[in-house]
Structures are given as C-alpha cells and as structure tokens.
C-alpha cells in the first residue's frame, strides 16, 4: 500500500482541508492504483452482518455560520444548503404540518417506517426515501442538542427553511419580524424555547409594520423542547405549534392574553373612536433593504459609467454584510459611519472605514483613480439610496401628531372589532399606542400559546386545514435515530449505509493521520481498509443497478 501512503503524504504537504470531494478524489486515485480493489472485500465480510453505527447516516456539516446563511453568496454556504436539500426534498407534505406528520409517523409506526424502504419505483428512489427521514432526524438532533440556545435557534431557522423549500431572512438590514419564508413566500417567525420557559413575542412595532404594511399576516412556529441528559447524549421531544397573527385577530389576542402590557399596546386615540379623526389616509410604505440596496447600485453604476472594475468594487463594498461602513452597523438605512464624515475642509476623513476600503481597493487594482473623487461618488449614491426611506419615516411620524388622548383598551378593542374594512383596521393598528411610541415589546406566555384559539375567538388563528395549534411532536436523540436506522436497514439498502459508514471512518482516520504528523500507521491502515470497503461496495451497487 505504498501508493496510498504516497498519496496521503502528498495531500498532507499541500495542507489542504479534508472535504468529501477531496476524499472521493483520493479514493479514485487509490482505486486506480489497486486494480482489483473489490477483491479486498470478502463475500462473507463480518461487517456486512454487524449492526450499523450512527455514523452510517450521512448528514451535512451543521455550523453556526455555514449552511445557515441561506441567502449568502458564499459558495460554501450554498453547497451546504444543497447538500441538505438533496435529502429533505424527498419528504412529502404540502406544508410544515404535513411534513412533520410524515416524519413523526416513521417513529410512531414501525410498519410505516418499513414501508418507506420499499417506497419508490426503483432502488434509487427507495434508498433516497429511506435516507431522507434518517438525515432529517440526525440533523434535527444535531441542531437541537449540539448548540447553545442562540445558535440552535439560528440553525433551526435554516433547517426549517430548507425543509419548506423557502429561505432564511438575514438579520442584517431586515425590515420584517419574520425569520424565514416557506416555498409560497409565507412569512414565518420562529421561536425555539425550553418547554418550561416557552413564550413568543418581540417587537410590537415591527409586528404591526408587517401586518399593516406587508403581507397582512405573520405565521408563528413555536417549538418547545423537553430534553434530558448532558451534552451530546441529550434526548427528548420537540413539540411544534403554529398559529397566524392577522389583521382580524391580533387585537383580540393581545387584549385577552395574560400580560396586561399587551392590552396597553392596542389602545387607540379617542379622536379615532369618536370619528373626529379619519382613518382614510395613505399608509406610508417603507422601502425594503433590497429596495435601498438596488437604488444604491443604480446610482453608483450611473455615476461610474462603464468601468471594468465595477463588479470588483461592489464585491469589496459588500453592501449587505459590511456593517463597519454604516452608522449603528445597520447597512442601508443610515449614512456611512461617523468616521466617514467629511472634515471641515470638505475632504473625506482618512480614517473613515469607507476611505480606507477604497484606498486599498485602488492600490490592489492598480487603478488611476482619485480616491477622494471615488469616495464622493459612493457617498452621494448612499445619500440618494436612503432618501426614500427617510421620507417614509417622516410620513409615518406625521401620522402620530395631534392624536390627543388614548382610550382604554376595552373601548379600543370594541371599536377595532366594529371595523369591517381591512384597510381601516390596518390604519388603526398604525395609530395604536404601541405603534406610535417606539421600542415596544409584546409577549405571549406559555398558556397563551396553548390556548391561542380561545384568545383569538371568534376569529380564526389557524392555517387552512389545521385543526389545532399543535402540529407535530418529534422525538430526538442519538438513541432514537439509531433505533430508526436499525429498523429501516434491510438487504436492499445495507450496502449503501455501509458505504457512508466507511466514509465517516475514512475521513476521521485521515484527519487523525494528518493531525498526528503521519506518525500513526494504524490510522493510515484503517483509512486504507475503509477506502477499499468504499470502492468495492460502490462497484457492487453500481453493478447491481446497471445489470438490473
């Protein structure tokens, strides 16, 4: 096996990251160097009869900043999203409720789990169906148990966005309380808490902006986890609830909820209730972050003309993500940071983040361009881009002028429910006490969520076809996933899982061999055996399919 040692040594000296693609390339090299590799796999190999391990289930690498950045332009993040998508897209269901019902059934109904092994027109479809459910539970277990609360929530957003064929909404520059959307574009706010501390809430101002100026509704998906054990051995259940805040039910829900502070938020001006102040006004629409970004690029492109370095420039500026350039690290909505202001002589500050970026860019690109002139062009483009935003802000602020005193919550709720025009309800929400005053938070407590239908009555709070707030109950943990794997493995798909299991062994031992400075021959030998297993079994699967 000297050829393999040579390959390993060459890759180690290149100091390359070990990726699945690199592993497969190395396997191909190994297979080329060993003509009869399949002969290394004995027909009565005891491995083929031994229980498969947890590592036999493939799963994407879950990280705080990897596949969770679903809208990122980073090729690595996109590849990790595609890796997860290729498994989860197989799970049937028109919406989250339908998909959770199917995956939950695989745990509760052994006969159904076994039927998935035979689900599909051919062997490939049946294997894909089996893999989809196992990858779902393994990835969900990793997301819920392997991270702290903040990171778990962030990754859970990404996981559900991929499952639903939607997208995660980046926090930077977002003008919505939604965390993700499904395939139909439905905005979803996701909450993940321990069951004992379950709650759902957030910015009242942002919620009202979404309902009054956006889609007219906000869907909440609230996950309550009950876990036992420590670290990676934790296991338990995740109960999932779903309900919709709408123009019709939001005031009723907040009025009846446990927190008295919620009732204060919905109070309306007495002048509105007495009809002295009309609700017939134009609702100011705030430009989205995408609108502002597009305007910035249009202004910049127009000012620069047809230069061949434009794409490189906007890549360096990285308008969406480069918060260092903007006031309050809030890209798009503010001017550039205080350090970017002009000096008293009208010259850009040399310490400004924007000036430093542009100066470096000109030098790296070897351009004959005046940095002050380029700074001025970009600064003016930003001022033009945010102009419409601040006009809309001023228009919204003017709505709150001269409203007078506010009525009690009960009278406000009765008046609101007497309105039959949806647009008038939206305008009334914009004039509610919580919307006029900034920085307000609302909160639904655990009992509110469990009893959300009563709070909303007589208005509906559930999605079409949904019969109760709870839409799923999932059991997670390594032991649960291992049991499901054992249940779903049969003679048809065993070889496939054995290939994945040996892939995990190969990656682990290669990394260990490299990290140890190529001094542990046992790890090298283990990698050799794993590569032989992978090669031989892959050849057999391919041959079986080809000759079928």
Which position has the higher pLDDT, 5 or 407?
A: 407
Cβ–Cβ under 8 Å, residues 203 and 441: yes
Per-residue pLDDT tens digits for 427-444: 999 999 998 887 899 999
Regarding pTM above 0.75, the answer is no
Separation of alpha carbons 255 and 241, rounded Å: 21
Pairing state between β 217-228 and 187-194: parallel
For range 199-207, the mean pLDDT: 92
Answer yes or no: is pLDDT of 17 > 60: no
Per-residue pLDDT tens digits for 252-289: 999 999 999 999 999 999 999 998 888 887 777 777 77
Which pLDDT score, from 0 to 100, does residue 3 have? 54
DSSP 27-67: HHHHHHHSTTGGGGS-TT-GGGGSPPPGGGS------SSST
For range 181-208, the mean pLDDT: 91
Cα dist from 50 to 45, 345, 529, 530, 532, whole Å:
9, 79, 17, 16, 18
Mean pLDDT value across the chain: 79
Cβ–Cβ under 8 Å, residues 42 and 53: no
Separation of alpha carbons 533 and 497, rounded Å: 12
For range 217-221, the mean pLDDT: 95
Per-residue pLDDT tens digits for 382-417: 888 888 888 877 877 777 777 889 999 999 999 999
Res. 38 pLDDT band, cuts 50 70 90: very low
> What is the number of helices (H) and of strands (E) in the chain?
24, 8
Pairing state between β 235-246 and 187-194: unpaired
Res. 334 pLDDT band, cuts 50 70 90: confident
What beta strand segments (E) does 66-207 contain?
A: 167-168, 180-181, 187-194, 199-203
Which pLDDT score, from 0 to 100, does residue 232 have? 64
């Amino acid at each position: 096996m000297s050829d393999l040692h040579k390959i390993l040594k060459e890759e180690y000296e290149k100091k390359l990251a070990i990726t699945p693609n690199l592993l497969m390339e190395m396997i191909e090299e190994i297979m080329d160097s060993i003509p009869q590799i399949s002969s290394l796999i004995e027909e009565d190999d005891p491995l083929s009869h031994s229980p498969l391990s947890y590592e036999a289930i493939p799963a994407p690498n879950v990280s705080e900043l990897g596949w969770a950045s679903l809208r990122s332009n980073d090729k690595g993040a996109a590849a990790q999203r595609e890796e997860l998508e290729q498994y989860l897209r197989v799970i049937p269901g028109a919406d989250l409720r339908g998909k959770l019902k199917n995956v939950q059934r695989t745990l509760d109904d052994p006969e159904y789990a076994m039927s998935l092994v035979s689900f599909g027109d051919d062997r490939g479809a049946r294997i894909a169906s089996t893999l989809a459910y196992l990858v779902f539970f393994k990835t969900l277990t990793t997301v819920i148990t392997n991270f702290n609360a903040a990171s778990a929530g962030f990754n859970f957003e990404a996981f559900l966005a991929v499952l639903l064929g939607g997208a995660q909404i980046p926090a930077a520059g977002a003008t919505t309380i939604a965390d993700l959307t499904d395939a139909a574009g439905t905005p979803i706010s996701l909450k993940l808490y321990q069951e004992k501390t379950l709650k759902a809430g957030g910015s009242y101002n942002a919620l009202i902006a979404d309902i009054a100026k956006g889609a007219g509704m906000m869907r909440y998906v609230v996950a309550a986890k009950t876990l036992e054990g420590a670290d990676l051995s934790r296991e338990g259940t995740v109960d999932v609830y779903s309900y919709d805040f709408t123009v019709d039910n939001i005031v009723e829900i907040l009025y009846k909820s446990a927190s008295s502070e919620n009732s204060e938020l919905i109070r309306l001006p007495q002048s509105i209730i007495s009809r002295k102040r009309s609700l017939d006004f134009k609702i100011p629409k705030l430009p989205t972050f995408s609108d502002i970004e597009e305007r910035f690029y249009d202004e910049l492109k127009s000012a620069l003309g047809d230069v061949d370095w434009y794409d490189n420039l906007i890549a360096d500026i990285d308008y969406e993500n480069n918060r260092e350039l903007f006031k309050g690290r809030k890209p798009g909505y503010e001017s550039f940071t205080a350090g970017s202001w002009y000096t008293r002589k009208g010259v850009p500050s040399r310490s400004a983040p924007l000036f430093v970026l542009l100066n470096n860019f000109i030098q790296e690109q070897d351009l004959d361009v005046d940095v002050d002139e380029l700074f001025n062009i970009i600064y003016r483009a930003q001022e033009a881009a945010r102009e419409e935003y601040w006009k809309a802000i001023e228009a919204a602020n003017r709505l709150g002028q001269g409203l007078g005193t506010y009525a009690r919550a009960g009278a406000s709720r009765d008046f609101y429910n007497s309105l039959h025009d949806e647009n008038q309800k939206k305008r009334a929400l914009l004039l509610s006490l919580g919307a006029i005053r900034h920085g307000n938070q609302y909160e639904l407590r655990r009992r509110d969520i469990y009893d959300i239908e009563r709070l909303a009555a007589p208005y509906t709070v559930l999605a079409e076809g949904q019969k109760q707030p709870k839409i799923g109950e999932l059991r997670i943990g390594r032991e649960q996933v291992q049991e499901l794997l054992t249940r779903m493995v049969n003679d048809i798909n065993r070889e496939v899982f054995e290939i994945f299991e040996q892939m995990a062994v190969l990656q682990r031992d290669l990394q260990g061999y490299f990290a140890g400075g190529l001094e542990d021959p046992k790890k090298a030998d283990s990698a050799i055996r794993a590569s032989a297993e992978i090669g031989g079994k892959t050849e057999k699967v391919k041959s079986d399919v080809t000759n079928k």
